[in-house]
Structure 1
């Protein structure tokens, strides 16, 4: 993840090490289980020892891709939260918008979430901790909204997990050539999310501002 990102809404083309770019394509086409290190080496046009030297094994390739994706969305979500300057409705709308924008602009890497079952225990624990940080960021905003009387939910943790799962699922069906832009999809998901938390007042969608 590029720590130089300072605009959470701006997405430059994804830049990956050539070996990781090759691994991503192989995983997307054949799945983690159906991909071999030799397949990645052939696509990347490098030697097997080069891959083992830089990433140790196939698991290392998956871990690098997953951690880069979750680190980027977490970094962007924190920027989106901070941009609202404490205003709960805007914090909530910004973070939801940010996550959905990430799931569309970075659908290729975000979609690797489906390969989590192949992570070894230590790697799964590390990745789960990063996902937990994103979940807790959203949960904290929801709880603050409830405290201020802006949101009405029965169980904030369940609501946060449901919303996060809904947003993350966008990566599974989004297609760049579809009828809606990432921004339009994000606006729609913000509206759905605000209704889900029973928001009493709703920010104007960015597309209508």
Structure 2
């Protein structure tokens, strides 16, 4: 068999495994083809072609699918039972939130192209970064960079998709540890604070470069961000209804709490006077004050921060 034929067979196997995995996860979540396609901003025919292994999928699209299906990117990239399929791509360690502790943040490891893009976006901003500067940071030639990603925008989308996939997985895991609204709220705030300190580079780009996304990508990423906000909204509203929080503006209070954590990458420094964990504990207290926690009166318990 020729090298070209071998490559085609590998790509065919890749598409088949990915398509089967996407279909299984979609059905497990009760989603229709039309529903998932709408969340991804593609036509139902395109998604059907993916699920049937008839078309390839870019790395950015894989990250988008993972976010929409609420799984780590590796879940879509992992080999199937028969051992076929693509090798997992190192993308940080978003699986920590699913298979381990959402408070654990391993050193961030990105594919070379995305690492180069992240470094360039941090130093020059999205509009100041060029494919040449990204290639230099990635240790690739410009043609080599184009082999991995078709554009600077595609790399920005991939970075933000990976960021949101990790954040959603961790936030969901944190919330699920709580037995009541106050505890779930405190755990969510702790999680958001830890994420935006330990992953401050991703958080900074996510905060500052959303405006650089093209309309379809912006709408999709913004929808995921609203989903994270909604997790906090629900707990604040439930705690107010139960008499544990005294704020008369639960929606605005919840938004202020989340904004407080998303701004942390702009000022937090790992060599500063307080560790990420200490800062997270402080912000849980700030957040409880902001929503006017009445724990002493109603018995609403606050978890021990840090587990």
Using structure 2 for the length normalisation, give the TM-score: 0.65
In the TM superposition, what is the alpha-carbon distance from 1:47 to its structure 2 partner?
Answer: 2.7
Q: How many pairs align?
A: 207
* CA–CA distance in structure 2, aligned partners of residues 76 and 177 of structure 1: 24
* CA–CA distance in structure 2, aligned partners of residues 189 and 4 of structure 1: 23
Alignment counterpart, residue 95 of structure 1, candidates 188, 191, 212 = 188
Aligned pair 1:170/2:264, yes or no?
Answer: yes
In the TM superposition, what is the alpha-carbon distance from 1:55 to its structure 2 partner?
Answer: 2.2
Match of 2:302 in 1: 203
In the TM superposition, what is the alpha-carbon distance from 1:90 to its structure 2 partner?
Answer: 1.1
Provide the alpha-carbon RMSD of the alignment. Answer: 1.5
Aligned pair 1:121/2:220, yes or no?
Answer: no
In the TM superposition, what is the alpha-carbon distance from 1:204 to its structure 2 partner?
Answer: 5.6
What stretches of structure 1 of length at least 5 have no aligned partner?
Answer: none
Q: Is the 8 A contact 2:96 2:104 kept in 1?
A: no
* CA–CA distance in structure 2, aligned partners of residues 77 and 49 of structure 1: 38
Describe how 1:1-209 pairs up with structure 2 within 5 A: 1=72, 2-5=94-97, 6-84=100-178, 86-112=179-205, 113-201=207-295, 203=302, 205-206=304-305
| Greater Rg over alpha carbons, structure | 2
* CA–CA distance in structure 1, aligned partners of residues 164 and 208 of structure 2: 13
* CA–CA distance in structure 2, aligned partners of residues 46 and 204 of structure 1: 47
* Structure number with higher relative contact order (C-alpha < 8 Å, ≥ 6 residues apart): 1
In the TM superposition, what is the alpha-carbon distance from 1:193 to its structure 2 partner?
Answer: 0.3
Q: Is the 8 A contact 1:51 1:57 kept in 2?
A: no
Q: Give the SS at the match of 2:209.
A: helix
* Structure 1 residue runs of 4 or more that deviate by more than 6 Å after TM superposition: none
Q: Give the SS at the match of 1:206.
A: coil
* CA–CA distance in structure 2, aligned partners of residues 46 and 40 of structure 1: 8
